[in-house]
Amino acid sequence: MKQLIECVPNFSEGRDLSIIKQITDVIESVKGIRLINVDPGHATNRTVVTFVGEPEFVGEAAFRAIERASELIDMRYHKGEHPRFGATDVCPLVPVSDITMEETVEYARLLAKRVGNELNIPVYCYEYAAYEEKRRSLANCRSGEYEGLAEKMQTAEWMPDFGPTVFNARSGATAIGARNFLIAYNINLNTTSVRLANAIAFDVREAGRLQREGDPLTGKISTDENGEPVRIPGTLKKVRAIGWFIKEYGIAQISMNLTDITVTSVHEAFEEVCERARDRGIRVTGSELVGMIPLQAMLDAGKYFLRKQHRSVGIPDREIIKIAVKSLGLDELTPFDPENRIIECLLKNSGKQRCEKIQSIVRGKIG
Amino acid sequence: MKQLIECVPNFSEGRDLSIIKQITDVIESVKGIRLINVDPGHATNRTVVTFVGEPEFVGEAAFRAIERASELIDMRYHKGEHPRFGATDVCPLVPVSDITMEETVEYARLLAKRVGNELNIPVYCYEYAAYEEKRRSLANCRSGEYEGLAEKMQTAEWMPDFGPTVFNARSGATAIGARNFLIAYNINLNTTSVRLANAIAFDVREAGRLQREGDPLTGKISTDENGEPVRIPGTLKKVRAIGWFIKEYGIAQISMNLTDITVTSVHEAFEEVCERARDRGIRVTGSELVGMIPLQAMLDAGKYFLRKQHRSVGIPDREIIKIAVKSLGLDELTPFDPENRIIECLLKNSGKQRCEKIQSIVRGKIG
């Protein structure tokens, strides 16, 4: 199996699509890179680009994109609703296939060093690529945003990891990191009730729900000795979740981000939601993957359901994937085409097909 | 609400479609009758026709169809794999909407009398319309088939209820009856295993499974004092069920006939199968209605799921139906269009649309 990394740079331009096109063109100019998604936001004035490839080529494509963005985007004139501090605001690398997080961190740091040295842009390394604990958090690195950057960079605490120690007014700064693959995953319910969907979401998500005195919905929020609200954690680690109503389909969903599928996998999230929904008289009718999923996650899901049936897992991958799709009900709302949704399958086809804008990931984002 | 009866005559011709067309034409010539399905079988040389309408018109349409069949079909030349004893072999009336079984029986007997008197065809009244217990069973009425009819009619025991007491060689005899609405209903599983599907089917169907000594699959069949095999009944009354594999969808189903939804409703069958499937590590992923369903059955299902969620059932019918469709997963394999699948909705549209051959009911039949 080839080593694969996904790269999800966010550029501070979401309105002028000709600029975005010039950036994605340089990404696609690199050998073997597959552009998976381009998701511009008007209000945020920001575009999320997703591409995948072998590590060296991903590094090269990311470098060229950051370079092109520094030529085309001028942060002195940027306005938008999303926090940001640079033309290329963030650039996370994500291990997808046959590669460890440690190796991915090395590629992220190599990229960071090159961007700092060759493009004269201050770079902060974050999440798994961070050199110190407080820089793991992207929010910490970016606090104060572009407008506060010149001053922040002068403090010893926030000297960039790479690049100039003086403010680059045109490009701002870029956070480059390594993080786990994030799966945007929605579970469909046989109800229109957002209240019920939220109740189940709060049962399972790591952040749980606020503890209240008396009535669990309207009672006074409990606080600890420091006056901080007390939370009752949910059952699933590394899971963010809320309930919402999807007008298009006329049903409520639990919309989840699975931020580390080595801790909570897709099928574990599904099964737990089925159980908690059941407790509340609700039936899970299917589910929906927003964006891409690694092959291994699909195979793990299929094998889990086969084992539960005491059936052999020694069947072809495509049969295992089929069991996963049927068991999770991934085709309930829209057809699920493994060729276009499983990262490894998509890449196999990259010679044949040009990039299309796949389903927008906007709906999968949780604040 | 209008009174509605469904009529499901079976004609002893399944190969010459021009003959079938002439019969369905006279059915459709009657005011307000909606032809719902025409299902010819080559091997059986038999066609099952389904139509619906108000009681008097259904009686008239059935009479005209039996008359036309007696002109076009000559039983002396009929061969086919299905038991039969007449040109119009059976003609059951089924209460569908706002009508009791007692009233339906009256319409069936009126039809029987008219066919006997005006068409000179011997008629046996069966199921709810039977005048004596042993004639309730269609199999009893038809035993000996066409070939044995001349002799059988001479016995006092099997004198027809209506019509001539002498053999009509051309038309044979017709069984006219009243029975409950039968729903052909398939439940989809997340497995390819027919063995597992059958295990669940045997858990729930009224006929259950054969009791065996030792190994439940291969052990010697237990017998009672009369040497009859002993059966362990399943959990659902008035339900026939088997497991099968649907190549088209690549999954196993439990294929059911619900023969009295006042005893076991669609949603009760679904819920019980979900539970028994769960016991065996299987997930029910959705289900499939083959043919038509009465509105009330859909409303009952929707309300059942709403109540289970502690939600109000005081919402518009179309919303209740939507909850039923989503909860039962009726649209998992093919889109479920209430307008064309709920009998009352279909009839409302009958002015606009001509009859189409809706999904064949062949797959829904269980031997």
Facing B327 at nearest CB: one of A280, A285, A308: A285
CA distance B291 to B183: 8
The answer to whether residue A303 neighbours chain B at the CB level (below 8 Å) is no
A97 in Cβ contact with A296 (< 8 Å): yes
Average pLDDT, chain A: 91
In chain B, residues with a C-beta closer than 8 Å to the C-beta of A310 are 281
| Own/partner long-range contacts of B16-23 (Cβ < 8 Å, ≥24 apart) | B19/B72, B19/B73, B20/B47, B20/B49, B22/B68, B22/B72, B23/B49, B23/B65, B23/B68, B23/B69, B23/B72
Residue of B nearest to A284 (CA): B327
Report DSSP letters for B24-53, one per residue. Answer: HHHHHTSTT-EEEEEEEETTTTEEEEEEEE
Q: Which residues pair with B286 in a beta bridge?
A: B188
Kindly list the residues from chain A whose CB atom is less than 8 angstroms away from the CB atom of residue B250.
322
Query: Taking CA B155 as the corner, what is the angle to CA B154 and CA B157, rounded to the nearest 5 degrees?
Result: 140
Distance CA A103, CA A121 (A): 24
In the set A78, A82, A267, A310, the catalytic residue is A82
A243 and chain B: CB distance < 8 Å anywhere?
no
Say whether B326 and A251 touch across the interface (CB within 8 A).
yes
pLDDT at A73: 98
Q: Which of B42, B82, B267, B310 is catalytic?
A: B82
> First vs last Cα of chain B: how many Å apart?
35
pLDDT means per 10 residues, chain B with 367 residues, are 91 95 97 89 90 96 98 96 94 94 98 98 98 95 96 95 96 97 93 96 95 85 89 95 88 93 96 98 95 91 98 95 97 89 76 37 33
pLDDT at B115: 98
Work out the number of other CB atoms within 10 angstroms of the CB of residue B15.
15
Report CB contact under 8 Å: B285, A327: yes
Note the pLDDT of residue A107: 98
CB count within 10 Å of CB A335 equals 9
A364: confidence class by pLDDT, cuts 50, 70, 90: very low
3-state SS track over B87-125: CEEEEEEEEEECCCHHHHHHHHHHHHHHHHHHHCCCEEE
Q: Tell me what pLDDT residue B366 has.
A: 35
Name chain A contacts of B283, Cβ cutoff 8 Å: 305, 327
Model pLDDT, residue B355: 34
Closest CA to B182 of B89, B291, B55: B291
Q: What integer is the mean pLDDT of A287-308?
A: 94
Instruction: Single out the residue of A16, A77, A71 nearest to residue A47, CA to CA.
Output: A16
Q: Do A286 and B283 touch (CB under 8 A)?
A: no
Any catalytic annotation for residue A42? Answer: no
- Which phi and psi (to 5°) does residue A162 adopt? -140, 160
Q: Where does residue A279 rank: exposed (0-12), middle (13-18), buried (19+ CB within 10 A)?
A: exposed
- Subunit contact B332:A286, Cβ cutoff 8 A: yes
**Which of A282, A309, A331 lies at the smallest CB-CB distance from B282?**
A309
> What ranges in chain A are assigned the alpha helix state H?
17-28, 55-72, 101-119, 138-142, 145-152, 194-204, 266-279, 295-308, 317-328, 338-341, 343-348
State pLDDT tens for residues A62-79. Answer: 999 999 999 999 999 999
Beta-bridge partners for B223: B229
Q: Looking up tokens 């999800």, which residue turns up?
A: A8
**In sequence order, what DSSP letters do the residues of A163-177 get, joined into one string?**
S-SS--TTTB-EEEE
Across the interface, whether the CB atoms of A309 and B196 are under 8 A apart is answered yes
Condensed to tens digits (0 to 9), the pLDDT of residues A217-257 reads: 788 889 988 888 899 999 999 999 999 898 888 999 999 99
Identify which has the larger pLDDT, A42 or B362: A42
Q: Residue B4's beta-bridge partner residues?
A: B97
Two structure tokens written together for A14: 């979401």
Whether residue A334 lies within 8 A of chain B, CB to CB, comes out as: no
The angle at the Cα of B280, spanning B275 to B281, to the nearest 5 degrees, equals 95
Query: Residues of chain A with pLDDT > 90: what percent?
Result: 77
The answer to whether A136 touches A129, Cβ cutoff 8 Å, is no
pLDDT at site B350: 53
Of A295 and A340, the structure prediction assigns the larger pLDDT to A295
Closest CA to A23 of A115, A12, A31: A12
Calculate mean pLDDT across residues A294-305: 96
| Sole residue written with tokens 């089925």 | A274
pLDDT computed for residue B87 by the predictor: 98
Interface mutation vs chain B, best among A198, A273, A280, A309, most B CBs within 10 Å: A309
Instruction: Tell me what pLDDT residue B213 has.
Output: 87
Q: Which secondary-structure segment (H or E) carries B70?
A: helix B55-72
Q: What residues of chain B lie within 8 A of the CB of A313, using their CB?
A: none
Give the nearest chain A residue to B193 (CA atoms): A311
Which SS3 state, helix, strand or coil, does residue A231 take?
strand
Cβ distance A83 to A171 under 8 Å? no
Contacts of B241 (CB under 8 A, 6+ apart): B201, B202, B204, B205, B234, B254, B255, B256, B257, B366
The SS3 of residue B325 is: helix
Instruction: Look at strands B183-189 and B209-210 and give their pairing.
Output: unpaired
Interface mutation target, options A188, A189, A191, A274, chain B, most CBs of B under 10 Å: A191
Whole-angstrom Cα distance, residue B129 to residue B132? Answer: 9
Q: Which chain A residues are closer than 8 Å to B199 by Cβ?
A: none
pTM greater than 0.80 (yes/no): no
Which range scores top for mean pLDDT: A270-274, A294-298, B242-246, B352-356?
Answer: A270-274
Q: What is the pLDDT of residue B291?
A: 78
Q: pLDDT digits over A83-125, tens only?
A: 999 999 999 999 988 999 999 999 999 999 999 999 999 999 9
* Cα–Cα distance measured from residue A242 to residue A254, given in angstroms and rounded to the nearest whole number: 6
B259 to chain A, any CB pair closer than 8 A? The answer is: no
